[in-house]
Amino acid sequence: MEKVSLYIPCYNCAQYLKQGLRAVFTQTYPVDEIIVVDDGSKDDTVKIASGYPVRIISHPQNRGLAAARNTAVLNAKNNFVAAVDADCVPDNRWLEILMGHLDKDRDIVGCGGRVKETYTNSLPDKWRMYYLRQDLGEHVILNPKNIYGSNSVFLKKALLDIGLYQERFKTNYEDFDLSTRLLKKGYKLLYEPDAVVYHLKRDTVSSVLMTSWRWNFYGHYEPVNLINTLKSPFWTLQRVSDYMRGDLKQRRFAFFILDCLLLLHNTYFNFKYYLKKK
């Protein structure tokens, strides 16, 4: 069996960390090394991690998600590097299922699974389940458009070959960008829906709108300038229109509130980001 280093990137994740670590230690596939990357947390993240036989690497200040992932990869001692986000709990066979593909097909350098939402009762949590899905469906996909960073195993040398994660992505999109660059380089990726982690997050209206903005921020794929900032409300409106058509068809009328708020929220933060950058 190939040895695996597993890491959990953390920024103020004390409320979730115990559940995630317990699940890591009950994996049916043995984890050779567990790394907790503390990205400048101000809560009890380090204190909680210290109660487990893990290796803790701390950033003196918050550097962002991509930087935390890079720190873990660079310090991992094994050829395969797995990742679970701090607010996710992996099923006990999660790593066994992913490594089964990597052991079987040596051309595959990255494998990821699906994220299932634990909490779906409130309106923001229901909206997140539909519009911030980390789930590519029920079927295995060779070379999917994205391997979610919250739920993945990669061959370390492939990540080093493409220059790791781009650290300008502080909170989101670092996984999509990495997957895109791996595929362009000719590497093979695999999505396996049977490898499941459970998302523990509970959202408010404010937090789910902010997460949506971070996911869809136009600066991920268009230059941040005045012209694109002025265009951004129209791009958001197109997405909101698609959401509302789907909600109308499925009779999810309560979602209209968040759909409309999304347009105002994203426009405000696009302009705020532009002015800050300027």
pLDDT digits (tens, 9 = 90+) for 55-103: 999 999 999 999 999 999 999 999 999 999 999 999 999 999 999 999 8
- The alpha helices in the chain, defined as continuous H runs, are 14-24, 45-49, 65-75, 94-104, 123-131, 156-161, 174-184, 205-216, 226-250, 255-277
Distance CA 192, CA 146 (A): 12
Give the global pTM.
Answer: 0.93
Instruction: Dig out the tokens for 165 from the structure.
Output: 């994660």
All structural domains of the chain with their residue ranges: 4-119+134-199, 205-277
Q: pLDDT digits over 201-248, tens only?
A: 999 999 999 999 999 999 999 999 999 999 999 999 999 999 999 999
**Pairs from 117-123 (Cβ < 8 Å, separation ≥ 24):** 117/198, 117/199, 118/89, 118/198, 118/199, 118/200, 119/200, 119/201, 119/202, 122/202, 122/203, 123/205, 123/254, 123/255, 123/257, 123/258
Q: Which residues contact 256 (CB under 8 A, 6 or more apart)?
A: 244, 247
Instruction: Dig out the tokens for 134 from the structure.
Output: 């980390």
Strands 141-142 and 55-59: unpaired
Distance CA 19, CA 26 (A): 11
Q: Give the pLDDT score at 115.
A: 97
What radius of gyration, in Å, describes the C-alpha atoms of the chain?
A: 19
Q: How confident is the model at residue 119 (pLDDT cuts 50, 70, 90)?
A: very high
Q: How confident is the model at residue 272 (pLDDT cuts 50, 70, 90)?
A: very high
Q: How confident is the model at residue 42 (pLDDT cuts 50, 70, 90)?
A: very high
CATH architecture of 4-119+134-199: Alpha-Beta Complex (3.90)
Q: Give the pLDDT score at 106.
A: 85
Asked if the model's pLDDT at residue 278 lies above 80, the reply is: no
The mean per-residue pLDDT over the stretch 27-51 comes to: 96
